[in-house]
Amino acid sequence: MSNAETTRSARKAPKTWSQLSAAGVRRKPSEYEVVTHNLIYHMDKSPTPFELAASAPLNAWYLRYREGSTFRVDDWNGFRDPHRLTYHSYVSQQNQREIHLDAIVDRFEAGGDRPPLSADWVAVLERVYLTSRYSSHVLQMAAMYLAQLSPSSYVANCAEFQAGDEMRRIQRSAYRAKSLSLQFGEQLADTQATRRIWEDDEAWQPLRKVLEELLIAYDLGEAFAALNLVVKPLHDAFFINVLGVVAQAEDDEELALMLDDFRLDSDRNNDWSKALVAYAVSQRPENRDVLAGWVEKWRPQTEAAIEAASAMLADRWPADRGDMGELVAETYEALLSDCGLLPTQAV
Amino acid sequence: MPQLRRSDWYDIARDMNWNLRYVSHEQAFPPEIVGPMGDTEPATWWKWDEPYKLSYREYVYNQVDKDAGVAAVGAAIARSNLFDQLDEGWKGAIKAHFGAVTVSEGQSTLAESRMGRFGLAAAWRNMALYGALDEMRHVQIQLKVAHSLLEKDPQFDWAHKAYHTGNWAIIAAMSHNDELFLGSDVISTAIQLTFTFETGFTNLQFIGMAADAMELGDVEFGALISSIQTDEARHAQQGEPTLKLLLETGQKDLAQRLIDVSFWRAWHLFATLTGPSLDYWTPLEHRAMSFKEFMEEWIIRQFMDQLEDLGLEKPWYWDQFLDELDWYHHSEHAGIWYFRNTVWWNPDAGVSDSEREWLEAKYPGWTEKFGTLWDTIGESVRADKVDATFGKTLPILCNTCHLPVFKIPGTTSDCEPRQSVHEERTYTFCSEPCQWIFDQSPQRYVGTKTLIDRLTMGDIQPPTIEGILEYMGITPDIAGDDAAKYRWATERQPQLAAGAAA
Ligand SMILES: [Fe+2]
Ligand SMILES: [Fe+2]
């Protein structure tokens, strides 16, 4: 090697973060990787995650529920969001989608082609759709919990965006509540009245119980599995898919179109859940049983809760669409199957 | 456009609180992670009211727009040689910034998310969700800019690497951030992060540095951090409603203590980072204001006014604070320069004749306190003994702020070492407030170690210079040196300059 060459290579500018080269990423890293890679430096940090006494509450919490979880791999920074979302791509994409929702609202507010909604359908909307603000808010809280406990920024960001998606649909539901209240009565926009349905309506109680319990699923693996592999998929199968079919049958096209849009968020969140399961199992096969165990714990009560909630739509379900419960079950089983978590897929 | 205005429906989307029935409040909101609610009923907190309202729809719209603005500036800069023309001292200031700040924004993401889960009102949780997304933005846009500068200068690697090391400056930053937010319950976080830190101190770094950046033509950095500051100004508003509720629920003492602890911690960290950046590393002709003037404007006037409007008082150590305002960051600056081969940027000594004049004018008495020190260093440089100007003996680090313990004659630091014993270990402190912070809550800090403790207690192996540098993550390609290649010394008395210049 000539001197000139030595000098040149000694001066070679680094192509990317030393942490990213050290992780063995050989190709030119994507912008997604450049801005997402390995930011949760305190995972497995010795002797404690935070520069406080080992017994300080937050150190104890993270050591117990994050580092101490049975859901673990050696390197969480190998996980990638299949959608490679960055902050910028998320807000850009959701901005476009919000413009789309505004257009839907505009179309129906302009009137004209809008068939009048019946008062008894509005009562169903109040009981199911408007009240789902509360259930979605719990999902938002649980996603925030998962975000702040995540072992890697690649995981945390997915959970942050998921929480944003929940807020998004809650606000659209609040808008619809106000809009309906102008025509069908003030109680539709009265949060006390809606809260009473959430707190007292028998059909809601099993689901409310599951959701309140979801809030205290603190272990990392349980928090992820209970939220993303059980409660949210089943919740959305009902409050998006089933409700969408019913809205269509009731000629509430505005709601049907909105739900179609929210399904895109829900599907995207399923995508990262599936990818995380696949990654965790590929890194450490025992993770399959860890996750399957949590799914087994949460699934029966959540399915029963959705069945109880289904009573609210039972007499609205179009007979030609087969069985309502089937739609939920099929949608959910497809997710579990993609995750390799059906009991029949046990190895 | 949809016909209803945000104000028509907003309350419906924020009044989302309910009474837990199937789990207890303590289970879902554990006291150790929620913080000191006092004897209040959970529903008391439902009236938490954010002063700034925003819908998701507006959020994504605004943020796309802001990002476009920053990206446009970045693209224009990439086509120019602007970066190459920047002053080396200033480059040091922005590298220090990227290393200390970028990944700490990710710590804020998590702290905001924790408030997004455990905040005691839905309105608070929603605001915190925007805050979490904002902070993710701050990590990402700063990483992106620093990454684009890597090819020009490997020291920018520290925008990403810093928090993965045991560097002394980063330990100080971590300790501060963990205390104020990352390792803190959500009520304390709302006060310490969003009120003290974001409503108060980040203005120094983000407005102070942006002002200087615009002055000297670093448009990219100026646009970047100004854009960040617009997010901060919004989500910082979680502090005030939380503070109001603490006062309303009879917890004024607690609120005051949180302010007193976090104000002092933030003061030391910002004095170390922003102080030298504004007063030494920014070229003299481009300094918008001195650090002290920024402190007077943003902290002593604006922040303190807000504090007093809310019914709180100045911290009990106000006199010590005012005393330190005249000397503390000058000592930090000298310490950083002295140990410049332990940092990831090239610190500018910033003590040419004209700069000394400026320093004396802004800080009467500077020459007497610090002039001689720099005279001696300058003489060593001119005598071709640059080696003698590197720190060789280990400093004593404070067990609270992890920054050096100074003893500057005629100041509050001019005393016997301040020490406390907890569980048979002696802890040393740089100042009375740092000692007070540790002593009023020892169970929160016992067992923590400064970098020097780690060395003497055997955590750093081998306990040699090489071992410490490795622990600190310092590699030869990024180890700092004088930004001006010592010209401030060699050109000061040209007749004596002999070979010391690079
Ligand atoms: Fe920030
Ligand atoms: Fe200190």
Complex prediction ipTM: 0.96
Angle between helices B88-118 and B252-276 (to 10 degrees): 160
| Cα B41 from Cα B46, distance rounded (Å) | 10
Provide, as residue numbers in chain B, all residues whose Cβ is less than 8 Å from the Cβ of A175: 2, 4, 9
Structure-block tokens of residue A136: 């979605």
Nearest-neighbour CA in chain A from B27: distance (Å)? 7
Cα-Cα-Cα-Cα dihedral of B100, B105, B110, B116, to 10°?
Answer: 150
Is residue A283 within 8 A of residue A152, CB to CB? The reply is no
Provide, as residue numbers in chain B, all residues whose Cβ is less than 8 Å from the Cβ of A49: 183
| Residue that has been written with the tokens 């190459």 in this structure | B84
Position B400: which residue type?
T
Closest ligand, as measured to the CA of B111: 1
- Non-local (6+) Cβ contacts of A293 within 8 A are none
Is residue B472 within 8 A of residue B166, CB to CB? The reply is yes
Position B405: which residue type?
V
Closest ligand, as measured to the CA of B106: 1
- Non-local (6+) Cβ contacts of B388 within 8 A are B380
Does B13 fall in a domain?
no
- Any chain B CB within 8 A of the CB of A314? no
Which uninterrupted H or E stretch holds A204?
Answer: none
What is the phi/psi pair of residue B420, to 5°? -135, 150
- Any chain B CB within 8 A of the CB of A91? yes
Closest ligand, as measured to the CA of B231: 1
The confidence score (pLDDT) of residue A207 equals 98
Q: Provide the residue range defining the domain that includes B347.
A: 56-496
Superfamily classification of domain A76-345: Ribonucleotide Reductase, subunit A (1.10.620.20)
Least CB–CB distance from B117: residue in A17, A86, A145: A145
Structure-block tokens of residue B487: 């010209």
Least CB–CB distance from A51: residue in B17, B106, B175: B175
H-state helical runs in A185-228: 191-200, 205-215, 220-224
Partnered with residue A278 across adjacent β-strands are none
Listing DSSP states for B16-54 in one string gives ------SS-HHHHS-HHHH---TT--GGGGGG---SS--
Between the CA of B450 and the centroid of ligand 2 the distance, in Å, is 11
| Cα B232 from Cα B228, distance rounded (Å) | 6
Does B115 fall in a domain?
yes
Closest ligand, as measured to the CA of B328: 2
Provide, as residue numbers in chain A, all residues whose Cβ is less than 8 Å from the Cβ of B32: 57-58, 60-61
The confidence score (pLDDT) of residue A346 equals 82
- Any chain B CB within 8 A of the CB of A108? no
Position A68: which residue type?
G
Partnered with residue B421 across adjacent β-strands are B426
- Non-local (6+) Cβ contacts of B128 within 8 A are A144, B112, B113, B114, B115, B116, B119, B235, B238
Least CB–CB distance from B4: residue in A56, A153, A178: A178
Q: B residues 119-148 near A, CB within 8 Å?
A: 122, 125-126, 128-129, 132-133, 136-137, 139-141, 143-144, 147
Q: What does the pLDDT profile of chain B (502 residues) look like in tens digits?
A: 889 999 999 999 999 999 999 999 999 999 999 998 877 889 999 999 998 899 999 999 999 999 888 888 877 777 777 888 899 999 999 999 999 999 999 999 999 999 999 999 999 999 999 999 999 999 999 999 999 999 999 999 999 999 999 999 999 999 999 999 999 999 999 999 999 999 888 888 888 888 899 888 888 899 898 999 899 888 888 899 999 999 998 999 999 999 999 999 999 999 999 999 999 999 999 998 999 999 999 999 999 999 999 999 999 999 999 999 999 999 999 999 999 999 999 999 999 999 999 999 999 999 999 999 999 999 999 999 999 999 888 899 999 999 999 999 999 999 998 999 999 999 999 999 999 999 999 999 999 999 999 999 999 999 999 999 999 999 999 999 999 999 999 987 644 434 444 3
Does B502 fall in a domain?
no
Least CB–CB distance from A52: residue in B15, B110, B444: B444
- Any chain B CB within 8 A of the CB of A53? yes
- Any chain A CB within 8 A of the CB of B24? no
| Cα B344 from Cα B438, distance rounded (Å) | 30
The confidence score (pLDDT) of residue A3 equals 39
The confidence score (pLDDT) of residue B40 equals 81
Structure-block tokens of residue B327: 């000397």
Is residue B355 within 8 A of residue B442, CB to CB? The reply is no
Is residue A67 within 8 A of residue A46, CB to CB? The reply is no
Does B26 fall in a domain?
no
Geometric angle at alpha carbon A199, from A197 and A204, rounded to 5°: 70
| Cα B106 from Cα B138, distance rounded (Å) | 8
- Among residues B365, B327, B109, B94, the alpha carbon closest in space to that of B224 is found at B94
Is residue B404 within 8 A of residue B398, CB to CB? The reply is yes
Does B343 fall in a domain?
yes
Does B231 fall in a domain?
yes
Q: What pTM does this model have?
A: 0.96
**CB under 5 Å of ion ligand 2: residues:** B 398, 400-401, 430, 434
Answer whether A216 sits within 8 Å of B161, measured CB to CB. no
Left, alpha or beta for B217 (phi > 0: left; psi -120 to 50: alpha)? left
The confidence score (pLDDT) of residue A70 equals 98
Cα-Cα-Cα-Cα dihedral of B141, B147, B152, B155, to 10°?
Answer: 100
Does B22 fall in a domain?
no
Answer whether A109 sits within 8 Å of B147, measured CB to CB. no
Position B465: which residue type?
I
Nearest-by-CA chain A residue for B117: A141
Closest ligand, as measured to the CA of B236: 1
Provide, as residue numbers in chain B, all residues whose Cβ is less than 8 Å from the Cβ of A52: 178-179, 183, 444-445, 448
As a residue count, chain A comes to: 347
- Among residues B432, B360, B428, the alpha carbon closest in space to that of B398 is found at B428
The confidence score (pLDDT) of residue B499 equals 43
Nearest-neighbour CA in chain B from A319: distance (Å)? 34
> Domain of B438: which CATH number?
1.10.620.20
Q: What does the pLDDT profile of chain A (347 residues) look like in tens digits?
A: 333 333 434 456 788 999 998 887 777 899 999 999 999 999 999 999 999 999 999 999 999 999 999 999 999 999 999 999 999 999 999 999 999 999 999 999 987 666 789 999 999 999 999 999 999 999 999 999 999 999 999 999 999 999 999 999 999 999 999 999 999 999 999 999 999 999 999 999 999 999 999 999 999 999 999 999 999 999 999 999 999 999 999 999 999 999 999 999 999 999 999 999 999 999 999 999 999 999 999 999 999 999 999 999 999 999 999 999 999 999 999 999 999 999 898 87
Answer whether A209 sits within 8 Å of B179, measured CB to CB. no
Which uninterrupted H or E stretch holds B428?
Answer: strand B425-429
Answer whether A174 sits within 8 Å of B185, measured CB to CB. no
The confidence score (pLDDT) of residue A76 equals 97
- Among residues A306, A132, A301, the alpha carbon closest in space to that of A234 is found at A306
Q: B residues 262-321 near A, CB within 8 Å?
A: none
Nearest-neighbour CA in chain B from A328: distance (Å)? 25
The confidence score (pLDDT) of residue B217 equals 87
Provide, as residue numbers in chain A, all residues whose Cβ is less than 8 Å from the Cβ of B33: 57-58, 61
Provide the domain count of chain B.
Answer: 1
Q: Where are the domains of chain A?
A: 1-34, 76-345
Nearest-neighbour CA in chain A from B425: distance (Å)? 14
Structure-block tokens of residue B318: 């106000």
Does B73 fall in a domain?
yes
